[in-house]
Amino acid sequence: MSEDKWDRYCQRLPRRALGFFPTPVMELRRLTDRLGGPRILMKRDDLTGLALGGNKVRKLELLVGDALGQGCDTLVTGGAAQSNHCRQTAAAAAACGLGCHLVLGGEAPPVAEGNLLLDLLFGAQIHWTGPLRKGEKIPEIATRLKADGLRPYVVPYGGSGPLGAAGFVDAARELRMQLEALGCDISHLVFASSSGGTQAGLVVGKAAHGGSFDVVGIGIDKEGVGEEPLRERVLRLAGETARLIGFDCAFSARDIIVREECLGSGYGVVGDAEREAIRLVAETEGVLLDPVYTGRAMAGLLGMIESRDLTADDTVLFWHTGGAPALFPHARELA
């Protein structure tokens, strides 16, 4: 897509600045040396700036822009009790003077820790929904808020509708410009993939802005969202996102690489693989991964090296999507 066309399209999308961009790209030299290659770079979306950072800020800039454009006064979203997405949404609401209702799986714990503590500090109202941790009750709660005279805006689960995913089309352009400045070509882009918006946006972004690397999502959640497998969800979202931005491009199953060999014992269950990956990166680079997403995704990257799907000739960029606030509630499994 030409720069002109891209700029015109960008001006059409709603946007409220919430974070600090571009996020840094750093070289993980000591990790690369320790592993004997491939060359590993890291994109630091844990440093997006809002409320301890994370990838959802890119989606929320567009979603909150849309909410404000529609004159809404309250954001409603949902997820797991330790949802990073919910924490970033609560912070975005606070920063814009909006109310925030979070629909969280599980029961209220005796002590609020990690992301949940931060949700409360940002003034979010919490609705506990027991076994439902994917925001299943968001529509019901939005209806109730409307009946109370509020103007709720529903932020989709994980921020992963086409508008949220468009934030990652933009991110792919940001990365391309950074790699050009570094004079660096990458062969693989690796990251944690869950509700699919990050991956869909990066797939569309690679097609729109150029790049010859593999976009590799490491699946972190066995259950997926609803009945739809992650691969199909990403493919559908990529098509919807391209359509939204007026980018004429069709995607096929071949464009969607999802690796699901790291699902372990399920969502948020920390095993040896996550623990070792977190320690390795902390000890070699002084960089914190998280127990649920990036720790598992890094374990996936290490697995790709072990199975020789990645070799010393490759250059991999690991997209750090944030999540460190969840380290603390998992202290017992990590220490």
Per rule CB under 6 A, is residue 23 in the interface with ligand PLP?
no
Which residue type is seen at 243?
Answer: R
Closer residue to ligand PLP, CB minimum distance, 145 or 326: 326
Cβ-contact 178, 22 below 8 angstroms: yes
Per rule CB under 6 A, is residue 322 in the interface with ligand PLP?
yes
Q: Show Cβ contacts of residue 127 under 8 Å, excluding neighbours closer than 6 positions.
A: 101, 102, 103, 104, 137, 141
The least distance separating ligand PLP from the CB of residue 276, rounded to whole angstroms, comes to 18
The least distance separating ligand PLP from the CB of residue 54, rounded to whole angstroms, comes to 5
How far is residue 2 from each of residues 67, 207, 208, measured CA to CA in Å?
29, 12, 9
Residue whose structure tokens are 């979010």:
124
CA distance linking residue 270 with residue 7, whole number of Å: 42
CA distance linking residue 214 with residue 187, whole number of Å: 6
Classify burial at 92, counting beta carbons within 10 Å of its beta carbon; exposed 0-12, middle 13-18, buried 19 or more: buried
Catalytic annotation, residues? 83
Per rule CB under 6 A, is residue 290 in the interface with ligand PLP?
yes
The least distance separating ligand PLP from the CB of residue 4, rounded to whole angstroms, comes to 29
Helix, strand, coil % (nearest 5) of the chain? 45, 15, 35
Closer residue to ligand PLP, CB minimum distance, 179 or 192: 192
Contact residue for ligand PLP among 293, 310, 317, 327 (CB under 6 A)? 293
The least distance separating ligand PLP from the CB of residue 306, rounded to whole angstroms, comes to 22
Cβ-contact 119, 102 below 8 angstroms: yes
Closer residue to ligand PLP, CB minimum distance, 145 or 235: 235
Closer residue to ligand PLP, CB minimum distance, 162 or 323: 323
| Residues 172-201 contacting ligand PLP, CB under 6 A | 192-199
CA distance linking residue 56 with residue 73, whole number of Å: 20
Closer residue to ligand PLP, CB minimum distance, 145 or 274: 274
Per rule CB under 6 A, is residue 315 in the interface with ligand PLP?
no
Closer residue to ligand PLP, CB minimum distance, 145 or 207: 207
The least distance separating ligand PLP from the CB of residue 218, rounded to whole angstroms, comes to 9
The least distance separating ligand PLP from the CB of residue 10, rounded to whole angstroms, comes to 20
Q: Which stretch binds ligand PLP (CB under 6 A): 29-37, 100-108, 140-148, 319-327?
A: 319-327
Opening angle at CA 109, ends 108 and 111, nearest 5? 125
Neighbours of 26 (CB within 10 A): 15
Contact residue for ligand PLP among 39, 43, 85, 233 (CB under 6 A)? 85
Per rule CB under 6 A, is residue 54 in the interface with ligand PLP?
yes
**What is the Cβ-side half-sphere exposure of residue 142, based on CA atoms within 13 angstroms?**
18
Residue 91 has φ and ψ, to the nearest 5°, of -70, -40
Residues composing the chain? 335
Q: Which stretch binds ligand PLP (CB under 6 A): 51-59, 106-114, 132-140, 255-263?
A: 51-59
**String marking each residue 145-174 x if it binds ligand PLP according to CB under 6 A:** -------------x-x--------------
Residues that bind ligand PLP (CB under 6 A): 54-56, 84-85, 158, 160, 192-199, 290, 293-294, 321-323
